[in-house]
Amino acid sequence: MQRHVFNKLTWRPGLAQFTQRREMHSRNKEAMQLIAKGWSALKEVDRVIDYCELNDRRLIPLLRAAKENFELALETDNSNTHARYWLSKLHLKYHVPGACKAVGAALLVEAANMGDPDAQYELACRLRVENEYVQSDQQAFHYLEKAVDQLHPGALYLLGAVYLTGDCVKKDVASALWCFHRASEKGHAGAAIAYGSLLLQGVEIPESVMNLSSKRGSLARKARNNAESLVRDQAEMARERFHISAKAGCDLGLKWLERLEEEEKHLLTGNESVEHT
């Protein structure tokens, strides 16, 4: 009787699913720990690589450690897209022993097709720059849109530039502004500069961007009631974006902020002289 009850408890479908999910979680956790170790070694390489040769022997232990950890992570959890992406970067970018461009490209395509946004953006950039095939631009745009769907900041910035210039697509400033706005919200310095400079040029803010703003109601009312207040608002919004860029370490953001301060001082001086006269 007790054995019968024990067998029923052991073979419950719910218990089997729970055990399977627990094993998957354990494998994923172990894989992420290995990826963190590999990433740490790779960051150390990036820190010193500008001060030595690309094939400097002193970098080999770090590169080997990164490669081994990424490979172990992939063996532990074959569905891990981060391990595929970082291992592909090792093969494509670094002079690691045993590197193979073909393997790196295959891993990058796999990671992109499995939905990794970093891999999708990287693949889009490589298809756009390195290939001369007719279908290359279409494939690049496909992966770029996939990364944008996941709000990848680099992909958003690149798509915004594509819409702004009308390269391969119909020129659409409103869509470009939306892309720059979303990318700058995620701290992308280039997108913040692009968005702020377009605002200072007097480009009309599309409704899609205004709806994203927490102050969209007041901004919309001011746009309808007073054109001058809208110009002031756009200048303040531009200042916010330049602050984002400066915070990200972009010197151009600091220069834009200094330029805005100079313009404000010039306007104040001009107003004071008019009042005295």
The C-alpha atoms of residue 175 and residue 114 are separated, in whole angstroms, by: 27
- Residue where the block lists tokens 């001086």: 269
User: Is residue 152 within 8 Å of 121, Cβ to Cβ?
Assistant: yes
CATH of domain 38-44+66-150: 1.25.40
Could you give the CA distance from residue 143 to residue 153 in angstroms, rounded to a whole number? Answer: 14
Nearest to 182 by CA among 167, 194, 170: 194
How far is Cα 203 from Cα 185, in angstroms, rounded to an integer?
Answer: 19
CA distance 120 to 124: 6
Domain with CATH 1.25.40 in the chain: 38-44+66-150
Q: Which residue has the tokens 């996939």?
A: 146
Residue-level pLDDT at 266: 80
Q: What is the block-wise mean pLDDT of the chain (277 residues), using blocks of 10 residues? A: 51 59 78 94 91 84 95 93 95 91 95 96 85 69 94 96 88 94 94 94 85 55 48 82 92 91 79 58
Q: How far apart are CA 125 and CA 141, in angstroms?
A: 9
- Separation of alpha carbons 270 and 23, rounded Å: 71
Q: How many CB atoms lie within 10 A of CB 71?
A: 15
State residue 229's pLDDT score.
52
How far is residue 108's CA from residue 95's CA, in Å, rounded to a whole number? 17
| pLDDT for the residue numbered 13 | 58
Output the pTM of the full model.
0.79
